[in-house]
Structure formats: structure tokens, C-alpha cells
Amino acid sequence: MRFSSSGSEREVIKTSCSTLPGPCLYLLWEMEKQVCADFSERTKEGEMMFAVTGATGHIGGKVAARIASLGLPQRLIVRDPSRAPKLPGADICQVSSYGDPTAMGKALSGVQTMFLVSAREIMGVIKESKDHNTSMPYYDRLHQHICAVSAAAAVGVRHVIYLSFLNAAPDATFVLAREHFRTEEFVRSTGVAFTFLRQGLYMDNVPQHIMSDDVIRAPAGQGRVSWITRDDIADCVVAVMTGHGHDGQIYDLTGPEALSMEETAERLSAVIGRKISYEALTPHEARVNRNMSRMIDHEILRQSIAGTGITEPELEGWVSHYLQIATGEAGPVADSVPRLTGHPAQSLAEYLEKHPETYAHFLKES
């Protein structure tokens, strides 16, 4: 189903939208007022069209490259077309953000399957403001997701594949996993077919947890993490986008093993060539001292742009990101990667051996 100027199609969409939540109905009304280039006219009749959001980022970029290498048509929905990958068979469509449902609706017209990358969290938005030398905008991440999903539902996207988070639940320790759960609930409420890909913590970011004194300091207790590579996540996304039988499914995307932070530090020591250690902070120490990797940078950044330190919700987001390790919520190991892709998930040792660039700055210091 496509949104176009044809009256009969609008009627079909209106009928199918009658069961949708309020934001979708509002969106439909908004879209009917639009007179603009409609991407659906560029979609050949009967052709499967994929939409990939976040294509200027890591996961979306990897997904887009894989879809292109399969020779499939896709639309890359991006905020900055100049940073979008140039790929054969890919249209590029600009939106100011997921939070603009009218632009999202236009970008999604004629699309059957949308891969929705979760929006940047607040600390990323702060960094973005600094990079662009703009003031900090009002930002509600859940609202961003709701707008994107409403747009998809209103223009007849048939399948929404949402990049969620491991243990998405209303009472998750990691506060952002609660937001992912609420997004999932909203997707369900639209009646559009869905698949939720609940990703674990990125293996690619593991070296970033080391501080300049070779210590990983975090309130992660003795918990375990099933680190997963972005490449394995992208392979799973593409398997779901292009495969069958995934409607209504929830997949936990994890690496092949659950490592403690000590074991994680051992794997890093082996490739860096000197001792990297782990020091468990209490939640109180983490909150008060904030002497965790990247937390210090974020705090400086925030001061420079907003003139104030980290707010309580931001602090909670950061600390709870580690507390989910302590509670065991970041540790489940699932078999989704081999099941969906046919290849094993990469281990941390394999990943570090293949990607010395991720810890090259530590090698130079040895």
C-alpha cells in the first residue's frame, strides 16, 4: 500500500488506519495536506522496497551496504544526505529527524519493510549540539520513535524491524531499556507486523571502557556481558529484512559468550601487551566520583555547551548502563546470530585480533 494522490488509495489507507493510535490518525491528516514529490512514484509496481534508517551511522550503514550487495532496492532515510553512503540501488531521502512524522511519512511511502535504528540518546544529542555549535534542543527519544513508527503505520509499511535492546522491559535496570520496551509496545499497538531485535552491548566499544591509567572502572560488579559486534547485528538485521517467518518474533542478539569485566580486561591485556585491570565501583562511588571512562568527557562537554553538569536522568542512564551488567541483565547468551545468519557470533578475542585500530591509541603508549 502506498500513499499517493489517488483518492481510492487514500480511502484504503484511511480504513486501515482507523484502528491506529491517535498519532497515526493525526499524521494521516497532516500528510493529506502535502503536495510534494512522492517517492512512491519512483517505486516500480510490485517491487519490494526496503527503508533503512540511520544509514549515516554504524549499524544502518552496514545494513545498507549489505542490502546493496544483494542487489536489492532501498531507501536510505538520513538527516544529512552528504554523509549518506553512495550505494547502487539506493535512493537517499532526507528528514530533519524521526520526530518529523510528515517527512518520515513521505520518505516511507512505497516502502514495505522499514529497519528502524533507535534514535541517539541524550548524551549523543549533547555531543551533536557541540559539534554543530548549536544550542541543546528539547529532546524526547521515545517521542522520536513514536513519530517514526506512526509514519510507517500511516503510509502502509508492512513490516517494522526495530533495533531494540536486550532485556527491554518496564522494570529494566538500564533505564534506556525501559524506553525501548515502550517503543516496542507502541509498535505493537499499531497492528503493523514487527520484529524486535534486542541487541546487547557493543563489542566494538569495549576498548573505550579503558581509562588512561589502564583501568576499567565501572559499577558492573561481578556481572557478565555477552558483547556483540555491530557486524553480527547487521547480518541479523539483513537476514530478518530479506527472510520470511520473522513477523511477531523477538530476537536477543548477543555474542557467543558472557564475559565478566575481569575476563574482558584479560582479553584486552592479551592484545595490548600490558595489564589492563578492572576496578568495581559501588553505584554510589560511580554517581559521586563519576570517574568512569567517557563519563568524564561527557561531563566536560555538557559543561561547555549547557553550562551545567550532568542531570539526574543522564547520570541514571550512564550508571544504569553498567548496573545492568552487575544484575546479570547484560549477560544472557542467545543463539540468534548463528540461527539467523548461519555463521557463529564473533568472540571478543577474535574481534580484538581483527580490529587493532580499536585500541591502537593504547599500543602507542606502551
Ligand X SMILES: NC(=O)c1ccc[n+]([C@@H]2O[C@H](COP(=O)([O-])OP(=O)(O)OC[C@H]3O[C@@H](n4cnc5c(N)ncnc54)[C@H](OP(=O)(O)O)[C@@H]3O)[C@@H](O)[C@H]2O)c1
Contact in structure between 172 and 181 (CB atoms under 8 Å): yes
Contact residues for ligand X (CB under 6 A)?
A: 54, 56-60, 79-80, 97-98, 117-121, 144, 199, 201-202, 205, 230
- Residue 18 makes CB contacts below 8 A (sequence gap 6+) with none
CB of 310 to ligand X, least distance (A): 17
CB of 203 to ligand X, least distance (A): 9
Q: Residue 169 is which amino acid?
A: A
Contact in structure between 3 and 27 (CB atoms under 8 Å): no
Residue whose C-alpha cell is 522496497: 49
Q: If we measure between CA atoms, which residue out of 3, 25, 11, 8 comes closest to residue 191?
A: 25
User: What are the C-alpha distances in Å from 49 to residues 72, 84, 96, 158?
Assistant: 8, 18, 22, 11
Q: If we measure between CA atoms, which residue out of 85, 10, 81, 82 comes closest to residue 40?
A: 10
**How does strand 90-94 pair with strand 249-253?**
unpaired
CB of 325 to ligand X, least distance (A): 11
Length of the chain: 366
CB of 58 to ligand X, least distance (A): 4
Q: Which residue number, 119 or 160, has a Cβ lying nearer to ligand X?
A: 119
Q: Which residue number, 4 or 94, has a Cβ lying nearer to ligand X?
A: 94
Three-state secondary-structure class, residue 143: helix
Q: Which residue number, 16 or 97, has a Cβ lying nearer to ligand X?
A: 97
Q: Which residue is nearest to ligand X (CB)?
A: 57
CB of 35 to ligand X, least distance (A): 24
CB of 237 to ligand X, least distance (A): 11
Q: Which residue number, 3 or 98, has a Cβ lying nearer to ligand X?
A: 98
Q: Which residue number, 141 or 159, has a Cβ lying nearer to ligand X?
A: 141
Q: Which residue number, 13 or 101, has a Cβ lying nearer to ligand X?
A: 101
What is d(CA 118, CA 141) in angstroms, rounded to the nearest whole number?
Answer: 9
